Copies of this chain bind each other. A is one copy, B any other.
């Protein structure tokens, strides 16, 4: 396919599509850029990144903006579809076709699942998924991996505690699915039984032969961990207010719990936090969640650099529909953009090529 030739790195929709060696290659580039940022300050001179943010995410958008700007590139885009004319009934296809004419690389955030995949079908330039609903957010996972690589020295043979709402957090799903591709990683799933990882992520862990245990107490588990990945527990996930109040403290990280942790523990958090990490912990050198955002910028620089390297703009080819019918997932992008060609692959059942929903 013509696309293959002109975009050696392709799009980044799902990190699963990148072999493990490609992931470690990205981390190596990120480390090089971080050590000598001034060598890279004009690497993308004359290039434009478009940020199509169909829902606001100031932090992610700024991280991408800082990344391209620090490579000498420039930014166009929107963050406010309510105010933007692109929201006035224009299809995702038309917007992507037009803006990808102006840009060299495009990053999209969208509330519907599969929106980034859909955008990649019509874009004249490379597309990076910056979050499509509750589905995927691959650059957050790259951020987490680079933080581990820099603060623990490795992304394998780690005992990783995942704490909080593991059922609904796409961040921990992605991280778990990626870390289990590297040898010797082990998970401790710290949550209420109702909020542990969903069955499909647990199967991925099992299939990969990755060990995991479950825990309902952060205090009891913290002493074993090399890494603690904190996430929010949202009040609305609990049936009753009393249940929420009773459980809440169990999953809050504070200075007292930190006293039971190893000296080499590293605490990560995708941010923003609400109150699941006490402000006192910020001054503990094992807390690296603020540094994590800096690592995120460097790994996005590495990603942009790889994707732009040798990439040429091209009109995307017409896609032949695979399978037929409508994806039953109500949050799938195909439900709101009816012109999209059906894309189903056959696994254990039919799987939607946009949102990965199994039919």
Which among A70-78, A196-204, A328-336 touches the partner chain?
Answer: A70-78
Contacts of A318 in B (CB 8 A): 283
Separation in Å of the A94 CB from the closest CB of chain B?
A: 6
Separation in Å of the A176 CB from the closest CB of chain B?
A: 24
**Residue on B with the closest CB to A295?**
B101
Residues A102 and B62 in contact in the complex (CB < 8 Å), given A56-B83, A84-B56: yes
Q: Is A305 engaged at the interface, CB distance under 8 Å to the other chain?
A: no
Interface residues of A in 89-105 (CB under 8 A from B): 89-90, 93-94, 97-99, 101-103
Contacts of A58 in B (CB 8 A): 78, 84-86
Number of A positions contacting B (CB below 8 A): 52
CA distance A55 to B339 in the complex (A): 30
Q: Is A294 engaged at the interface, CB distance under 8 Å to the other chain?
A: yes
The answer to whether B94 touches A271 (Cβ under 8 A) is yes
The answer to whether B45 touches A41 (Cβ under 8 A) is yes
Which among A212-220, A272-280, A350-358 touches the partner chain?
Answer: A272-280
Separation in Å of the A276 CB from the closest CB of chain B?
A: 12
Q: Is A293 engaged at the interface, CB distance under 8 Å to the other chain?
A: yes
Separation in Å of the A254 CB from the closest CB of chain B?
A: 13
Contacts of A82 in B (CB 8 A): 83
Separation in Å of the A17 CB from the closest CB of chain B?
A: 26
Partner of A83 from B80, B94, B102 at Cβ < 8 Å = B80
CA distance A41 to B45 in the complex (A): 9
Q: Is A5 engaged at the interface, CB distance under 8 Å to the other chain?
A: no
Contact flags A15-57 to B (C-beta < 8 A → 1, else 0): 0000000000000000000000010010001101010000011
CA distance A57 to B83 in the complex (A): 9
Q: Is A120 engaged at the interface, CB distance under 8 Å to the other chain?
A: no
Partner of A102 from B57, B78, B297 at Cβ < 8 Å = B297
Residues A101 and B283 in contact in the complex (CB < 8 Å), given A46-B38, A58-B78, A76-B65: no
Separation in Å of the A251 CB from the closest CB of chain B?
A: 18
Interface residues of A in 306-322 (CB under 8 A from B): 318
The answer to whether A294 touches B86 (Cβ under 8 A) is no
CA distance A291 to B102 in the complex (A): 11
The answer to whether A274 touches B102 (Cβ under 8 A) is no
- Residues of chain A whose beta carbon lies under 8 Å from any beta carbon of chain B: 38, 41, 45-46, 48, 50, 56-59, 62-63, 65-66, 69-70, 72, 74, 76-80, 82-86, 88-90, 93-94, 97-99, 101-103, 271-274, 279, 283, 290-291, 293-294, 297, 318, 339
Besides A80-B83, A89-B274, 9 more A-B contacts (Cβ < 8 Å) are A46-B72, A48-B66, A50-B62, A56-B83, A56-B84, A65-B102, A69-B76, A93-B279, A101-B293
> Can you report 24 A-B residue pairs in the complex whose CB atoms are below 8 A from each other?
A50-B62, A58-B78, A58-B85, A59-B85, A59-B86, A59-B98, A62-B76, A62-B77, A62-B78, A62-B102, A66-B76, A66-B102, A69-B76, A80-B80, A82-B83, A85-B272, A93-B279, A97-B290, A97-B293, A98-B293, A101-B293, A102-B293, A279-B339, A283-B318
